[in-house]
Amino acid sequence: MDPKAKAEIRNILNHLSTQTLESLLSPSDAKLIYEELFFSSSDDDDEQSSIFNDDTYQQYVKYWDKLGRKLREETRTPADLLGTDITNRILSFIRGDGDGSSSSSSSGSYDAQTVKTFLESDAINSLFTQLLYDAIFEFTTSIDIIGNAISKLPLLGPVRNQVLKESKRNMDRTLGPLLRQFLSGYTRVAIRQAVDFVVSKENASKFASANAKLVGYLLKERSVSAWIPEDKVLAEWRQDVWDYLVGLERGSDNQKIINQSIDWVYDLVGDKCIDDAGVNVGSIVDSSPTLEKNAALFWKRCQDNAN
């Protein structure tokens, strides 16, 4: 290893570790760079982006498809990728295992407003209403013992079954709207009771165990390839992601959101440096001679190419 390159890379790393984010790149310059790259001042819609153009799109499609093929060949489960310890920790947290502290005991409970908003949605109400409506008709036909016996007869059976179908159609046409209206109102009352049942502390452990069982199945029993949708869906996702990225270059709302995100990052760590995180760069380089060697070789190649 070139001693000079080794010393220089050490000095660079030590210098960078003491520099704050703001000293390396000010918030105003970060915003300006983003605006210059993503928000062109040109009004020509046909002008291609410097980042999202035909060439980058071809590479984007290439590596998206390559990733999709790789994932389809993956026979391991998410639990295999996470490891036994992390998987068990996730399931333990979902179950609410622990010493009874508020953080562990609350993991199995639900937020009452979230559950209420979900269960009281029109879709859930319509689903429950239809289930009750169908259940009433099935109950009235199933308790007809004599009629069920007739249904099994060679000649009378098909006739009775046809009569039942016509009766169902007539009920849907006449009593259906009134019955559905009643069931809809009753369902809303039942849903409010269900909310209280779901969010109660007494039932939290039961739902936590059910959640852990579901998550355990998804993590341990289904391979990664089983999570991947069909090629048509992947192609739609690929295009949606690309359209979103391209759309970042247009619209004042996107620009405002990015600027707010930059402000948030700088408010959080703008005045911090690597040393503030308790990371000693010198110790890291000392503990990995291979890392130091490759960093020095990279720096030496940069110098050679610059000359």
For the residues 235-249, what does the mean pLDDT come to? 87
DSSP line for 168-222: HHHHHHTTHHHHHHHHHHHHHHHHHHHHHHHH-HHHHHHHHHHHHHHHHHHHHTS
Q: Indicate the pTM of the whole model.
A: 0.61
- Mapped onto helix, strand or coil, the DSSP state of residue 30 is helix
User: What confidence tens digit (pLDDT) does each residue in 99-123 have?
Assistant: 444 444 455 566 777 777 877 777 7
Q: CA nearest 71: which of 266, 295, 245, 230?
A: 230
Which one is predicted more confidently, 145 or 138?
138
- Could you give the maximum distance between any two Cα atoms of the chain, in Å? 101
**pLDDT for the residue 73:** 93
Q: Which two tokens stand for residue 184?
A: 């809809």
Q: How far apart are CA 17 and CA 208, in angstroms?
A: 44
User: What confidence tens digit (pLDDT) does each residue in 40-77 have?
Assistant: 555 555 566 778 888 999 999 999 999 999 999 999 99
Domains in the chain: boundaries: 3-39+230-306, 82-222
**pLDDT for the residue 145:** 43
171 within 8 A of 137, measured Cβ to Cβ? yes
User: What confidence tens digit (pLDDT) does each residue in 204-214 have?
Assistant: 778 788 888 98
User: What confidence tens digit (pLDDT) does each residue in 149-159 have?
Assistant: 445 546 555 66
Q: How far apart are CA 183 and CA 137, in angstroms?
A: 13
